[in-house]
Each structure stands twice: as C-alpha cells, then as structure tokens.
Amino acid sequence: MLDDIHDTMQQSVRVHNNYSDNMLLDAILQDVADVCEEKNIRFLAHAHLPESVPMADLDIIRVFTNITNNAIEACNKISDSERFIEVTSNSTQNWTIIEISNSFNGDLLIVGEDLKTTKEDKDFHGLGLQIIRETIEEMGGLVFTEPDSEKRIFKIKVCIPKNPRFRAAETG
C-alpha cells in the first residue's frame, strides 16, 4: 500500500520552478505559470522581492494576483502565437522595481488619465488597477502603466520603496 501511495505521489507532483525569492510571491507566480501552460501563454518570470521590502502577505496577494489576473485576461483576447507574460525586476539602493509585461489586443479605454475596464459590467470589474495603486502608494511607492497599443504590449511597473513611509513613521 505504501508503495502505491509513493508511486501516486511521484506521478502527481509537478516540478516546482523558482520564480522569486519570496515564498508567497513564488506560489502566486507558480499558479500563474500553471494557468499560462493551460492557456498556451508563454510565461517567463524572475522577481526579486528583498526582505528589506516589508510588504504584508495580504499586500503581496492583492498586488500580484490583480496584475497577473489582468495579464492573463488580456492574453486570452488574442491568438495563441502572440500570448506572453513576462515578470522581471531590478533594484536600486532605495527601490525594488517589478515590471510585468504582457501582450494585449491594443484596445484601451482611457478616461482622463485613468485606464478603465473595457468589460460590460463595470460595477464588478475594473477595480484591480485601483487596488494595486492604493496598496503600493500607501507604502510610499509608485505604479506606472505603459500601454503600447501599436506594439500591443502592456507594461506595469511597481516601484516599492525598501524603507516604506509607514515603517519609518512607526519607528520614528
């Protein structure tokens, strides 16, 4: 019986890739990688989230699931051969910058300076980017969106301070 259980576990355990140096972010990115594989989306990721960036687990979930869910939805609107999501990062002395690029169909709805959802049911959609901005800005960070309708590539850069304001206020 133990041999059968061992064999079953060996067959069902998939290879786990390391996409980041943060356990929670790594789990989120592994889930994204699995979805991308199912949906024929080319996925590349390596994100460095240093310990000096004290993001709460809930904030990591809120920011990165919203970004990646939006990227997957955008990729679903185009042909398989064009689909990609890429996560990269870099650091300076004071900032960690995580950039997520993905393909999209080139359609954008911009009201004023804000991107808005193109979905019909606007009451229940379109909050993701707002949640991302609020979460990162509360830490003293910045969020930049760089949609390129001509190249059909959407980029979002999340700039996270290594010493967030709220931490400095608590210790000051």
Q: What is the mean pLDDT of residues 17-22?
A: 86
Percentage of residues in the chain having pLDDT higher than 70: 74
With respect to residue 153, please indicate whether it lies within any of the assigned structural domains: yes
Q: What is the pLDDT of residue 26?
A: 92
With respect to residue 2, please indicate whether it lies within any of the assigned structural domains: no
With respect to residue 6, please indicate whether it lies within any of the assigned structural domains: no
Cβ neighbors of 150 (< 8 A, separation 6 or more) are 106
With respect to residue 21, please indicate whether it lies within any of the assigned structural domains: yes
Query: Would the pLDDT of 33 be above 60?
Result: yes
Tell me the CATH number at 83: 3.30.565.10
With respect to residue 12, please indicate whether it lies within any of the assigned structural domains: no
- For residues 129 and 6, what is the distance between their CA atoms, to the nearest angstrom? 44
In our burial notation (b when 16+ CB lie closer than 10 A, e otherwise), range 18-46 reads ebbebeebbebbbebbebbeeeebebebe
Dihedral angle of Cα 10, 13, 17, 18, to the nearest 10 degrees: -100
In which domain, by residue range, is 87 found?
17-171
Q: What is the mean pLDDT of residues 122-144?
A: 82
With respect to residue 3, please indicate whether it lies within any of the assigned structural domains: no
- For residues 4 and 87, what is the distance between their CA atoms, to the nearest angstrom? 39
The structural domain count of the chain equals 1
Q: What is the pLDDT of residue 53?
A: 84
With respect to residue 7, please indicate whether it lies within any of the assigned structural domains: no
Query: Would the pLDDT of 46 be above 60?
Result: yes
- For residues 47 and 25, what is the distance between their CA atoms, to the nearest angstrom? 8
With respect to residue 167, please indicate whether it lies within any of the assigned structural domains: yes
